[in-house]
Amino acid sequence: MKKMIGETMPETEHPCGAKPPNREGENVKNGIKREGNEETEILPALVSALKSDLGSTLEKVKVNDIRIGLAYTGVLLSTGYGGVACTPLYEFSCCPALDFAVFLKGKTADKLLELALSENPLEAAVGVATANALSHMLWDLKPENFPISNLDVLDLIRPEDRVATVGYFGPLVPKILKITDKLTVLEKREIEAPQARTLPSEKAREIFPVSDVIILSASTLANRTFDGLLSLRGAAREVILLGPSTPLYPAPFFDRGITAIMGTRIIDPLTMLTVVSEAGGTKKLHQYCGEKVAFRKNE
């Protein structure tokens, strides 16, 4: 496979974003309302699309290995494809143990894919990582449906733009500030970023509608905040989904208003398992086992 041209994506201090919304009562948290109709939500749509495109193949593919590391969760399929998703450690106030009656290893891919719909963020991370691996497999089966782009996230930002990011992308922040000084970082954790305007994540309701470019951490998929955040995008010219957790399956995301997908294709799945097990982050994924890929809507 041809390697993408451009810089590797930035590694965050921790790749995870905001807490998932409360699913009891009014189903609202941090000022963001979760969509009630599952047909409009991205994860059910993604799972449904992958099942439709892969068909009965899914029942024949098994999961050979799973690693749940401190930064990323990795899945290796029996077909040799691997995928990752952010491990949502910050979503738990106690030990985030998975209490399954049986081991996940050896189950068929269709069963683990369905975990993406779980209310448990750690289970959802396993499901998203499985979706990532399956999207890599589907890409090779139907390459005509995956027209890649050579664009970098910085190519989509103009000097006059008001930019908002969900999650603190450490190495990316100074690069954005070289283009525009109108940058707001929405982050639930307390971080030291004197060069950027940093606000609590619940301020998305105020910031997103007046932003020209919105960069969403792909960790918003597993913590189930993606749909609520996307509903606040207003008239933003660009809404970018960024990070190794991003499923490389653009159609469902483009249908919902995402204009660019920038993720990571795992090209050495066995090394990926080692990186994940040793708590490696984005930088090590790109250095040893993955490469940056991008998809651009209408390109």
pLDDT digits (tens, 9 = 90+) for 83-107: 999 998 876 656 656 665 468 899 9
Q: Is the pLDDT at 230 greater than 90, yes or no?
A: yes
pLDDT the model gives residue 168: 84
pLDDT the model gives residue 299: 55
User: Which of 6, 5, 8, 90 lies closest to 290, judged by CA?
Assistant: 8
The CATH number of whichever domain residue 224 belongs to comes to 3.40.50.11590
Tell me what the mean pLDDT of segment 255-275 comes to: 97
pLDDT the model gives residue 31: 36
Q: How confident is the model at residue 193 (pLDDT cuts 50, 70, 90)?
A: low
133 and 56, same structural domain? yes
Answer whether 263's CB lies under 8 Å from 243's CB: yes
Strands 163-166 and 183-186: parallel
Domain presence at residue 80: yes
Q: Is the pLDDT at 144 greater than 80, yes or no?
A: yes
Q: Which of 20-24, 44-48, 197-201 is the least confident region?
A: 20-24
pLDDT the model gives residue 11: 39
Answer whether 67's CB lies under 8 Å from 273's CB: yes
Instruction: Note if the pTM is more than 0.85.
Output: no
276 and 136, same structural domain? yes
How many other CB atoms sit within 10 Å of the CB of residue 262?
A: 26
45 and 60, same structural domain? yes
140 and 276, same structural domain? yes
pLDDT the model gives residue 198: 85
- Report how far residue 78's alpha carbon sits from residue 73's, in angstroms, rounded to the nearest whole number: 17
Domain presence at residue 103: yes
Calculate helix-pair angle for 121-141, 42-54, nearest 10 degrees.
40
From the number of C-beta atoms within 10 Å of its C-beta (0-12, 13-18, 19+), residue 133 rates as buried
194 and 88, same structural domain? no
pLDDT the model gives residue 40: 80
